[in-house]
Structure 1
Amino acid sequence: MKTSLKAVILLFITLFSCSKEDETKVTPTPELPTIVTIPDANFKASLLAHGNSITGNGISKIDTNDDGEIQISEAQVYAGTINCFDKNISDLTGIEAFINITGLGVVNNQLASLNISQNTALEVFNCGGNQLTSLDVSQNTVLKFLYCYENQLTSLDVSQNIALTQLNCQSNQLTNLDVSQNVALTLLACLSNQLTSLDVSQNVALIQLHCYDNQLISLNLANGNNDELIVMKASNNNSPCIKIDSGFTPPSSWEKDATASYSTSCL
């Protein structure tokens, strides 16, 4: 009986010990990736060339340890400009790691889509000459210069980009453009779209307006500061009534269709 009791006690101690060991086992934490995933070889090569064959204002070396890769830490610390012009890039995956860049230029590539929602420090963005059908800049609230010309955009929302001073969206397929929130705009180039109306009455800082080659039947320029609108090109439209400031006489340098008229009270 004593032997049986000892056996039971020993078994209990053994099971308890095993249970405690299981409880204290620590599952190894998987290693986090340290290298930025960049599927497009041309984009990667261009990033690696920054500070070497690609130089310029705000551009410095990204691959600072010269290992032929872009570490996440290298991407995150880079606070300059990325310029990848004419590099035959079709995929911008990896740009999301560069959370502190202030400038990005990807002109004349093969981009059909891109995501810059993580690049919230961007002040200058140029994606002209691509194949973009949509563009989301709602998270880029400090953007000052936006150039998205020569794409295939059918809409463009810049309502969150209140710091914008220059917007060039020419040669797209836009049917509507609301710039009422962009009161700091000094240049607006929206020529060669499909706009039927345009209202810049809230854009009191506007110096240049290029809205020719559209389908405008309504154009409101009455921003209370027409004297400062040095360049105004609105020819090749659908003979719009062009609303201007009361008491203002448009200069001869302003361009419109011969059949278009200026008025202070367009209906």
Structure 2
Amino acid sequence: MFAVTLYHIVSCSNNDETKNPINDNYLRIPDIHFETKLIEQGIDSDGIVNQQILKSDAEAVSKLNLNLAANLGEIRDLTGIEGFVNITFLSAEGQQIKDIDLSFNTTLDTLFLNGNHLTVIDISNNPNLIVLEVQANELSSIKGLSTSKNLKKVNLSFNNFEEISINNESIEELLVSHNLLKYINTDDALNLKNVLLIHNQLTTVDFSANTLLETLLISSNKLQSINLEKNTSLTHLYSSSNLLTSLDVSNNHELIDLRVDRNPDLSCIKILSSQEIPTVSISDYQELNTICN
């Protein structure tokens, strides 16, 4: 009976420790590649791979770059990142990470997690985030996008998004290329300046609320029309390889780079007689004209 009771106590204790990565003065680091990289950078002060580091070691770190020392193996589990409560910069690119808990990293302003296997990311508790780079993952959703009021750049390219609403007016640069996008809403992203949406499945878009837009790269979709009347600050427009039947850029006086080739049903692009566009890419059957039927 005593042996059984003792086993039960030890088992419960181990389970509790597993659920709570921060225990007493130590922080649990179950992934040996994660800990090895911490040792290599002099963060883990005992210099021993023992699946733990001092909490004080973690709390002393302001920038954590786990891309260094690639020969030390790829990280699969970032359990323990919760203890790095003072980091403003985190980079863990090209690893094997499937999920990450950033709820304790409230001071983060720059996050690079490109080239992992994330299926969802939650930035609800990261109000100071300025740059979010999570391209080349397996993401189909993102949580907390509206809570990061300082967010300027969001890179979601090479993921599995089918739809997305950018309900954050601070974002200036949005990259969502090479996804499965059929719907995007940017009505609340009032400060958007640069948008990359190439290689998706969009049939319609509306950027009328994004009056500060300067660069719109939206080639290789299924667009039949696009209204750019409100986008008077537009300088670069790439809408090649779509299904456009008409295009009017006569109100886009700042345009310096226009690429609309490979739209089979688009023969005429409307411009002003006084409008000069330094760089133009069109197909042989297309023309720029002041009158388009």
TM-score by length of 1: 0.70
Change (3 A) 1:89 1:218: same
State the Cα distance separating 1:245 from its structure 2 match. 5.0
Alignment of structure 1 residues 122-137 onto 2, 5 Å? 122-136=129-143, 137=145
- Amino acid of the structure 2 residue aligned with 1:156: I
Say if 2:227 is the partner of 1:237. no
Distance in 2 (CA, whole Å) between partners of 1:236 and 1:248 is 23
- Amino acid of the structure 1 residue aligned with 2:165: D
* Aligned equivalent of 1:97: 104
Q: Deviations over 1:196-251 (max 9, x none)?
A: 112222222222111000000121212252xx422210010112433445484965
Q: Percent identity?
A: 22
Distance in 1 (CA, whole Å) between partners of 2:99 and 2:224 is 39
Distance in 1 (CA, whole Å) between partners of 2:193 and 2:36 is 32
Q: Deviations over 1:20-57 (max 9, x none)?
A: xxxxxxxxxx9984466666x278448837x929xxxx
Kept in 1: contact 2:97–2:117 (CA 8 A): yes
What are the ranges of 5 or more consecutive residues in structure 2 without an aligned counterpart?
1-15, 60-82, 272-291
Change (3 A) 1:116 1:164: same
* Aligned equivalent of 1:78: 86
Distance in 1 (CA, whole Å) between partners of 2:32 and 2:269 is 51
Change (3 A) 1:221 1:71: farther
Q: Tell me, what secondary structure is at the counterpart of 2:247?
A: strand
Change (3 A) 1:78 1:239: same
Change (3 A) 1:71 1:178: same
Q: 1:152 aligns with which of 153, 156, 160?
A: 160
State the Cα distance separating 1:78 from its structure 2 match. 1.6
Distance in 1 (CA, whole Å) between partners of 2:90 and 2:229 is 38
The Cα RMSD (Å) is 3.4
What are the ranges of 5 or more consecutive residues in structure 1 without an aligned counterpart?
1-29, 54-60
TM-score by length of 2: 0.64
Q: Tell me, what secondary structure is at the counterpart of 1:156?
A: strand
- Amino acid of the structure 2 residue aligned with 1:153: F
* Aligned equivalent of 2:260: 256
What is the aligned length?
A: 221
Change (3 A) 1:91 1:77: closer
Q: Deviations over 1:57-114 (max 9, x none)?
A: xxxx6x6897843739824642421000111212213x22211110111000111222
